[in-house]
Structure 1
Amino acid sequence: MFAPRTTPWPLVALFTAGYLAPYLLPTTVGRLERGLDLSATQAGAVGSALLLSSATAGFLLASRVERTGARTLARLGLVLAAVGYGGAALTTAVPAVVAGAMVGGFGSGTTTTVAATRIAAERDPHRASTLGLLSVSALAGVVYLTVPHLPGHGLTLAAIALTALAVWPLTSRLPAGTPGPRHAEPSTSARLPHRRSGLVLAGAMLLWSLAQNALWGVSGRIGIGQAHLSEATVGVVFAVALGAGLLGVLGAGALGSRLGRALPIGGGTVVIAGCIALSASATGLGTFAAGEIAWNTVYPVVLSYLIGLAASLDPRGRWAVLVGSASSLGTAAGPLTGSVLSAQAGFPVMGTVLAAGLLLVALPMTAVALHTSGRPLLQGAVRRRGGHPAAVVAAATGTPTGSVPEVGAPEQPVVEIPLDGTPAPARRAYDTAAATRAPGAP
């Protein structure tokens, strides 16, 4: 029998604490701009510095989680997030805010690295990442409904710090060390597998995330400045959009791997490009809400499949962390890119440029998804469309090694054993064509 599927709640909580900062980016940047009297470009630069620090943590720690231990690194990340974001929320000195944001960003990146590594080792990484996206979307939606009604520049930073403190008790359920791959062969565990696919995916994810967050970082300004909405109205639109994102993630979880990964990733990115162009050109509540809600519905769906694709490249989770860190680099450059593009050419032109870039980057991501979906993950694996490789299923259910033949293996002899005591006939090879003939056929 299959082992019961349990929900990895500590990983979901870590995922939420690590991803909350990027999700709250628009209101964080807007609050810093208005509360500290910064220019739009300066506030965007602070957001970029926060996310760049988060990406740096991923690159530095991708190969160190196993040696240091998941519990130790998770607690370190949560402490840095609580201290950094909390300190930035309590001061109005710009240098101190920047320093606190960068320390907190490093903590978020550390937490995300642990979560990504552990999720990649799960039996169903897509399910675990989907639950994490559900959790962070719901929490961010609550913050977007609450923050506009309260004063202060650091409310979103304080919310991230409090989330880190709330997640801390769950770290006791993490192992002291991160286990290696369940089914990986010892000869392949030391080197990164599928390097070409991993590098292409990492580069594409950098540009994909840059385009997403270039708009996300200035969405608040589009709503207030170009669509002429109040901050409270923009907050409601964001909360509804994140609620729609919950429905999208639920749909992705229910769909699972029935459509593979290539169609959701490629087709979803094309839809996102259209949503970005619509949102960036919005001049009223209708177009702004339509663009933001549609975009946030599709975005987490595509992201969940991308996370699953990265996790499938290496059971030890190294590609999941490295691709996630490359995505964080794009996320870090997003707010500044959006601020500069919008200042130089306006929001509509910025949206057109970002949409065109997404259409181009959809091609290599889809190619990686198609390439990896056609490759057996294990020696001797027989892949079923929309399901696990047969070798993985066999290993998971305790089937002895070698019971699933490799594709193209020589046919095994079949011996007929009579039950009436007569001598057994000579062995003959099993004839697949004969076995599949209809009864009575010659």
Structure 2
Amino acid sequence: MKSIAVACALACLPAASLYAADAPAYFVPQLLGAQYTFIEQWQGRVHSPYAGPLSLLAQGDHARSHTFGIYVGVPITQRLALYVDTELFRGEGISHSTGLAGLTNGDVIRGGGGTLGRSAYVARAFFTYDIPLGKEVTWQERKMDQLPGAQANDRWSFKFGLLAVNDDFDQSRYANSARTQFMNWSLLNSPAWDFAADTRGYTVGGMTTLAKGAWTWRYGVYQMPTEANGARLEGPINRANGQYLQVSWQHSPDTLNLWLLVYRNRARMGIYADALRAAETRHVTPNIQADDREGRHKYGAAVGMDWPLADHGGTGLFARAGWNDGRTESFVFTEADRSASAGIQVSGAHWSRSDDRFGFALAVNGLSPEHRAYLAAGGMGFTLGDGALRYRSERIAEAYYAFAIHSFAFVTADMQWIGNPGYNRDRGPVRVIGMRIHLAY
């Protein structure tokens, strides 16, 4: 509890109190933000003629999670900056964060589903370096991992260190944060994008960004974990890595934003068809981990769209779709080989509550034929394993209302409905009711 008290105390301090008033501008830590998020969810009963070790609990479940974070930035030169984020996670997700591709609490990613240690940890520690390519600038406000100041609209930027890949790729202004927006994993990123990360969602690597006019190009290389959903990263990076290339088009901040992401992962992964053949030969249950070999590849793509409609972007639509080859083992984010989602966010300005937000979205996840056959034969992944499978796509609907108590305090009511949980038409559907408290500085 001592670390929690320290986090709360720091969150209440003004940034200037962290360093002397006469300190120079550079090499001076600045508190960019602090947050606390509490999520409580109640899972209803699940129709369950059979179940496996990774199934949703048939009798229903109740779970809570807490995350604390402190975010600091250090300007080193006019172009070079260092950022360090410290977080702490307590709790877990419903049904031990298994039984679904679209798990219901996106914040448990940062706690490894509640399976890792309970002490504070460094989530991000990275450098950024910007090279201006033009004279036009936009003022950047202070926020998490962003020092205040002028940033060139046209620029060539670099970022490297310990970071989260999905901070920079597949970003949607309406569906990217389980702490303030939709909670389901299927609405945080495209589930078919199996991005490089350890169990908490972080990795080591680097990326470069070229922003020129309406176009933004990003390319990054990052370490993969040693095993599916693993806590340790594989090294050296040339032996196991994820490579990502994204191009985005947006004329100005409150206009249509389109992006295309392509990726290729190289890691010690298994192949579903090989695991099935080995199991049939030996007359045993297939085990994808037993087929893990170095040098295996997975590739895929995702597209996305944000369409601001009104209220300076506070009201808008979003959509995503993703695909991967589905031959190799689902390794990092979740077990999905095809995915699509779409939704809307509406600003409370329309009913005189300008800081409130209402959101509604639908998502569909699917599996490749090889992945389906593996699960149907009793195989297990890292989130799925009912012991059998009568396949149908997993279907998700989520609605939330975020009520602003103050500019730094929000209470959210959330409802989720999931049909064919874990892609199994024999089980479900399931309903999940949630409540969230989010405090931010």
What TM-score does the superposition give when structure 2 sets the normalisation length?
0.26
User: RCO higher in 1 or 2 (8 Å CA, sep ≥ 6)?
Assistant: 1
The structure with the larger Rg is 1
More helix by percentage: 1
More strand by percentage: 2
